[in-house]
A and B are shown apart, each in its own frame.
Chain A
């Protein structure tokens, strides 16, 4: 019999807090790139904008529908990348991505991921990893597009 990881390791208090009180939600101007990402298997969707000034991520704004994991993840993304350089933001993304792909075996760096470490438990639920990654992949797509666009 396979043992299912504990429910509370999936739905950590931090995740539920971000779900109920999401940070940075809503679409705002100005922005250099807007992307729309869909999770075709479950139907979760996100429209995400990035505003980059020089090398600085000034804003990440979003409108998303989906489960608690995908919503909380977008909120944590906003916390972690706004105010950082594009390069540092992408470095956080790499750390988050590595943790999510780590099947629960990767010990995350709390200094880098802050509230994002709460998603370590999600990595033990293969069906939910895509939920946590949706907003991050949208951010990556948008920020790379923004870099190709002359600043407004």
Chain B
């Protein structure tokens, strides 16, 4: 592993990683081997404590309470926004802080974009929406719904046999008719890291907007929205060592300023009369109701934690552990990796099938040995259909994953094969 990257020291920051599980009998006890971080990451003590301290000492509603606690809560909440903006490079924009909108998760962030682009008339019956076959359902369904409402045509990038985005028909897919292109940066199922630069350059050439689902990217790659070239970037807090209940939509300020609100309610208005309302400026225009306050504080602490370790270091660790896992897993007879088989341009999620054993049974057997993975369609049914599989088992890694844990996974897979006589 990388010189200077002390994974054992990092693991000490995550209390849950000390858990032992009873496995399948009272006599046995197994250390938790948590290989489901693409689903949700574990939380370091600093995040848990930041949330705890907020509720113990500073809890109040934000932006409207005229008292000390209200001021402190507002400061904590808005500091979370500043930290997130800095973390993703948005502060390099003049109004970068105001480009960070808090949502409840990445799904809501993507729904927000789809809804307001439709309401603004930017997507209509004369336009195309372009997505890819490797999207998570959260970046498929909102666009299908928008196509249904607006009469726009939904078009899809395919996937190559080795699990890469098929760019062969890039110029035929993204055309003058394209209003918006929405794609994932890192596939949650295949692990593929997509060449965003190529897609964004083509989209910009024809004047299309670009939405990036960065749910799997922001946790494991350095991100700089100022140079990325996308118009919107969506991600979620809980996959980047932050709490559940908070997601982020980053959008270019000039664009956000033109777009209508998403949900209506408190916080998002300028003034309300019985006749009509006018709306606040971004980001508050898009944040109706009491926002996820403690979660924003926790997400700020998460960003601090990741920054202290360094996203370049985390990305390097992720690459090394993924390369190790791809090598070790593919030595198992009957195991087929679905997605890129080498560690090039690849994130830390490896989905696979094991001949003769259904993924749910694989996951059950692994769980009996303390190994936590995900089994199923991973909210990416079209990508599974592309590879002719109904479901897969997915092991996913993060900054605290060790090679010993990969070895434990491999050993548990051998046990699984033996148990099922496969």
Residue of B nearest to A40 (CB): B377
Residues facing B in A1-17 (CB within 8 A) are 1-8, 10-11, 16
Question: Are B359 and A67 interface neighbours, CB within 8 A?
Answer: yes
CB distance from A69 to the nearest CB of B (A): 7
B95 within 8 A of A: no
- In the docked arrangement, what's the CA distance between A128 and B24, Å? 15
CB distance from A135 to the nearest CB of B (A): 15
Residue of B nearest to A16 (CB): B420
- In the docked arrangement, what's the CA distance between A2 and B364, Å? 16
B272 within 8 A of A: no
The stretch among B15-23, B50-58, B299-307 that forms the contact with chain A is B15-23
Residues facing A in B325-372 (CB within 8 A) are 358-361, 364-365, 367-368
Residue of A nearest to B362 (CB): A67
Question: Are A6 and B24 interface neighbours, CB within 8 A?
Answer: yes
Chain A residues touching B, majority SS: loop
Q: Which residues of A contact B359 (CB under 8 A)?
A: 67
B375 within 8 A of A: yes
Residue of A nearest to B24 (CB): A7
**Known contacts being A7-B24, A42-B376, A66-B358, is A128 close to B364, with CB within 8 Å?**
yes
Question: Are A1 and B20 interface neighbours, CB within 8 A?
Answer: yes
CB distance from B199 to the nearest CB of A (A): 29
Residue of A nearest to B26 (CB): A3
**Known contacts being A4-B368, A7-B368, A11-B419, is A42 close to B360, with CB within 8 Å?**
yes
- In the docked arrangement, what's the CA distance between A43 and B137, Å? 13
- In the docked arrangement, what's the CA distance between A1 and B361, Å? 23
Q: Which residues of A contact B368 (CB under 8 A)?
A: 4, 7
Q: Which residues of B contact A69 (CB under 8 A)?
A: 360-361
A65 within 8 A of B: yes
Interface size class of A (residues with CB under 8 A): 20 to 34
Contact mask for chain B residues 216-232; partner A; CB cutoff 8 A; 1 contact, 0 none:
00000000000000000
B25 within 8 A of A: yes
Question: Are A67 and B358 interface neighbours, CB within 8 A?
Answer: yes
Contact mask for chain B residues 1-45; partner A; CB cutoff 8 A; 1 contact, 0 none:
000000000000000000011111110000000000000000000
Question: Are A42 and B391 interface neighbours, CB within 8 A?
Answer: yes
The one of B22, B24, B358, B384 that contacts A2, using a Cβ cutoff of 8 Å? B22
- In the docked arrangement, what's the CA distance between A5 and B364, Å? 12
**Known contacts being A1-B22, A6-B24, is A67 close to B390, with CB within 8 Å?**
no
Contact mask for chain B residues 380-394; partner A; CB cutoff 8 A; 1 contact, 0 none:
010010000011000
Residues facing B in A111-134 (CB within 8 A) are 125, 128, 131
Question: Are B21 and A4 interface neighbours, CB within 8 A?
Answer: yes
Question: Are A43 and B377 interface neighbours, CB within 8 A?
Answer: yes
- In the docked arrangement, what's the CA distance between A7 and B370, Å? 13
- In the docked arrangement, what's the CA distance between A32 and B23, Å? 46
Question: Are B23 and A4 interface neighbours, CB within 8 A?
Answer: yes
Residues facing B in A55-84 (CB within 8 A) are 65-69, 71
Residue of A nearest to B356 (CB): A20
Q: Which residues of A contact B420 (CB under 8 A)?
A: 16, 68
- In the docked arrangement, what's the CA distance between A68 and B359, Å? 10
- In the docked arrangement, what's the CA distance between A41 and B377, Å? 8
Residue of A nearest to B22 (CB): A3
Residue of B nearest to A1 (CB): B22
Contact mask for chain B residues 396-422; partner A; CB cutoff 8 A; 1 contact, 0 none:
000000000000000000000001100
Q: Which residues of B contact A44 (CB under 8 A)?
A: 360, 390
- In the docked arrangement, what's the CA distance between A18 and B26, Å? 28
Question: Are A4 and B360 interface neighbours, CB within 8 A?
Answer: no
- In the docked arrangement, what's the CA distance between A68 and B357, Å? 8
CB distance from B33 to the nearest CB of A (A): 15
Residue of B nearest to A39 (CB): B376
Question: Are A67 and B360 interface neighbours, CB within 8 A?
Answer: yes
A interface with B by C-beta (< 8 Å): 1-8, 10-11, 16, 41-45, 65-69, 71, 125, 128, 131
Additional A-B contact list (20), CB under 8 Å, known A67-B360, A68-B361, A128-B364: A1-B22, A3-B26, A4-B368, A5-B24, A7-B365, A7-B368, A8-B24, A10-B364, A11-B361, A42-B360, A42-B376, A43-B390, A45-B390, A65-B390, A66-B358, A66-B390, A67-B361, A68-B420, A69-B361, A131-B360
B interface with A by C-beta (< 8 Å): 20-26, 358-361, 364-365, 367-368, 375-377, 381, 384, 390-391, 419-420
A-B contact list, 17 entries, CB within 8 Å: A4-B23, A4-B24, A5-B24, A7-B24, A7-B365, A8-B24, A10-B364, A41-B376, A42-B375, A43-B377, A43-B384, A66-B358, A67-B361, A68-B358, A68-B361, A69-B360, A131-B360
Q: Please name the 6 residue pairs, one residue from A and one from B, whose CB atoms are nearest each other, closest first.
A: A67-B360, A7-B24, A67-B358, A43-B377, A42-B376, A7-B368
